[in-house]
Structure 1
Amino acid sequence: MPRDTPTLPDWFDRRPLDQWLRQRGHDAFADSVAEICARRLNQPTNGDLKRWVAALAELPPAQGRHLDYSDSRVRVVGPDVDPIALRETLMRFHPWRKGPFEFLGLPIDTEWRSDWKWNRIARAVDLKQKSVLDVGCGNGYYGWRMLEAGASIVMGLDPILRFLMQFEVFDRYETGPRRNFVLPMVDTDLPEKLGAFDVVFSAGVLYHRTSPIDHLRSLAGALVPGGKLVLETLIIEDDQPSVLVPEDRYAQMRNVWFIPSPEMLFRWLRRTGFEDIKTIDITPTDTNEQRSTDWMTFQSLADFLDPEDASKTIEGYPGPIRATVVATKKKAE
């Protein structure tokens, strides 16, 4: 790294990932990852990050405890501690949006029942011995599930530092080889033609991009030829190639730009180098899957739907429906 680049903090250890990238000839990208992460984790004005790092030091010692992700709830297992003090420490990372998790017997009831989404996504592709890139990975919940499904390594990207620190809460209890990683990065940080991963996941990201085509191109560029894309996104119900562009907000979200119909989504994928495109699942999102909890006390989906007609958003648009599709990167462009 250049001399003026900050060094990575001690708690942020990604050496196994760095080694994996370099063993596969991606030295320049490994250097770029280290530089980007160092810059984003050394912001002197980020008081939240300092508080989160201090909270990590208050967690129970890792010795005698381990991480278990053999079922839907990713959990830290081992000798119990004072649950009241533990909850206070974990709540310093609030809001907890993706999960569920459990920490020494204390359930963390997250906003999203991400295990429901995972059950829909998991059947889309075989992950056994596959390298995976998870764009918009949140706090790494899906990465643990991917490892349980047989993935050899998972590199997750998410720019929200709160999610990175939630990942760190659990990652420090991993006693086996470290193979799940969350980085404070986005897909635009990827080289144009990286060609490093067997499978790329993008869940809940496409509609937040001002250029969905550029997002899909970046996903294609990260894949090896013949690699698989698993894409989950909001859609509109229309058998024609159409797109909903919200006037201002969609379900109170300002950063929703393009919601395609399935036919338009397939067209975008074909134009960006994918083939053999298949729809795996289409499911409306309801208030059982996304809701406020004691661990995410802010407004949630119920507050963003029309109180008189739950099939519509509060702005009058069709309510959230999510599709999961799988596609193959063409072997020859």
Structure 2
Amino acid sequence: MSATTTLSKEEIQRRVEALGEWFHNLDLGGVQTAPNHFLWNYPANKFKHFAHVIPQDLTGKTVLDIGCNAGFYSMEMKRRGAARVLGIDSDDRYLAQARLASEVTGLEAEFRNLSVYDVAELGERFDLVIFMGVLYHLRHPLLALDLIHEHVAKDLLLFQSMQRGAEEAMTPEEDYPFSETAVFDDPRWPKLHFIEKRYSKDPSNWWAPNAAAAEAMLRSAGFAILGHPEQEVYLCRRVEAPWGAGAAYPAKEKRA
């Protein structure tokens, strides 16, 4: 870990402003990057509610931050002593913001332009994968979870997705007869709400799962839920995926 920057506050302010609007409000040498954020001091004000579920000491551990934005979670994991932190995003401006944050704070993380659909290119697994605020922006969300399971997750997954609909999750039966239709009208049934046009003026919002769908998708991809410290947030452990899971089709396993 390198020392913090010797840049003046004025120079930091200039470089922050040159990188345009920030979604993460970071304190960079006394400069707030998004002081007027509509979610207030985001994401620090959110992280404080579930920070305790992540090991305080990450010494020797590796972390992959998918959809890292300006690097808030990447920086936090470096503060906990992670040996290596890699943040990926498909937005070059966010990556430039993250690199500036790393430079100013002296928290040395690596940032690369890479899609979640291309994580196999990394060729390595990470002790902790952070997948926060990304799922609902994806056209193919379950594929993304399958790829994370198959290629980069080694142990823990920190997951969050915007949720809409019923907050209570039902546990479906193992099977239903073809004639059963009423169960699909139960608001607690796992549902992904498809957003064809826009939601909250954002054309990148494609899906809004209810709580049951978010949890079922995690299990279906091979992630056991260890904790649910806050609404929408889950800490999971990678386990063997159930039959039929996986990014490749058809599945290798045979039906019994």
Write the distance in 1 (CA, Å) between the matches of 2:233 and 2:132.
8
CA distance in 2, matches of 1:262, 1:170: 33
Which residue does 2:144 correspond to in 1?
A: 215
Q: C-alpha distance in 2, partners of 1:259/1:325?
A: 16
Give 3-state SS (helix, strand or coil) of 2:70's partner.
coil
Q: Deviations over 1:172-222 (max 9, x none)?
A: 35657x3x1111111112118955111111111000111111111122121
* Partner residue, 2:206: 257
Q: What's the counterpart of residue 234 of structure 1? A: 162
Cα 1:123–1:86 change in 2 (3 A) is closer
1:168 offset after TM fit, Å? 2.5
Contact 2:64 2:129 in 1 (8 A): yes
Instruction: Tell me, in whole angstroms, the C-alpha distance in 2 between the residues paired with 1:174 and 1:218.
Output: 32
Q: Deviations over 1:118-157 (max 9, x none)?
A: 2134223215222111100012122111111232211110
Q: Does 1:97 align with 2:31?
A: no
Q: Matches of 1:272 and 1:262 in 2, distance apart?
A: 16
What TM-score do the two structures reach when normalised by structure 2? 0.74
Name which of 184, 194, 202 aligns with 1:245. 194
248 and 80 in structure 1: CA distance in 2 versus 1, 3 angstrom threshold: closer
The answer to whether the 8 A contact 1:164-1:182 is kept is: yes
Deviations 1:47-90 (A, max 9, x none): xxxxxxxxxxxxxxxxxx942xxxxxxxx5x4746x3x653443
- Which residue of the partner structure matches residue 249 of structure 2? none
Give, in whole Å, the separation in 2 of the partners of 1:107 and 1:223. Answer: 33
Q: Give, in whole Å, the separation in 2 of the partners of 1:330 and 1:197.
A: 14
Query: What's 1:329 paired with?
Result: 238
Give the corresponding residue for 2:93: 162
Question: Contact between 2:157 and 2:238, CA under 8 Å: does it hold in 1?
Answer: yes
Q: Alpha carbons of 1:91 and 1:214: their partners in 2 closer, same or farther (altered >3 Å)?
A: same
How many angstroms apart in 2 are the aligned matches of 1:332 and 1:242? 21
In structure 1, the gaps of 5 or more residues are 1-15, 17-64, 68-75, 283-322
The number of residues matched between the two structures is: 214
Q: 1:205 to 1:143 in 2, by over 3 A?
A: same
What is the CA-CA distance between 1:165 and the residue it aligns to? 1.3
The 8 Å contact of residues 275 and 328 in structure 1, kept in 2 or not, is answered as yes
- Change in CA separation of 1:195 and 1:120 when aligned onto 2, cut-off 3 Å: farther
Q: Using the alignment, how far apart are the partners of 1:97 and 1:198 within structure 2?
A: 26
Structure 1 residue identity aligned to 2:46 = K
Deviation at 1:247, TM superposition (A): 3.9
Give 3-state SS (helix, strand or coil) of 1:249's partner.
coil
Q: Percent identity?
A: 21
Q: Secondary structure at the match of 1:256?
A: coil
CA-based RMSD: 2.7
Determine if contact 2:223/2:241 at 8 Å carries over to the other structure.
Answer: no
In structure 2, how many angstroms separate the alpha carbons of the residues matched to 1:214 and 1:199? Answer: 19
Which of 70, 75, 95 aligns to 1:144? It is: 75
Give, in whole Å, the separation in 2 of the partners of 1:243 and 1:121.
Answer: 25
Report the CA distance between 1:109 and its aligned residue.
Answer: 3.2
CA 1:217–1:193 in structure 2 vs 1: closer, same or farther (change >3 Å)? farther
Q: What TM-score comes out, normalization by structure 1 length?
A: 0.58
Alignment pair present for 1:203 and 2:132? yes
CA contact (8 A) 1:201 1:231 kept: yes
Note closer, same or farther for the CA distance 1:162–1:153 as it changes in structure 2 (3 Å cut): same
Q: Gaps spanning 5+ residues in structure 2: where?
A: 169-187, 243-256
Q: Structure 1 residue 264: deviation in Å?
A: 1.3
1:182 alignment partner in structure 2: 111
Q: Secondary structure at the match of 2:45?
A: helix
| CA deviation profile, 1:6-34 (whole Å, cap 9, x unmatched) | xxxxxxxxxx9xxxxxxxxxxxxxxxxxx
Q: Distance in 1 between matches of 2:230 and 2:21?
A: 28
Structure 1: distance between partners of 2:7 and 2:105: 15
Q: Aligned partners of 1:86, 1:279: CA distance in 2, in Å?
A: 37
Equivalent position amino acid for 2:17 in 1: M
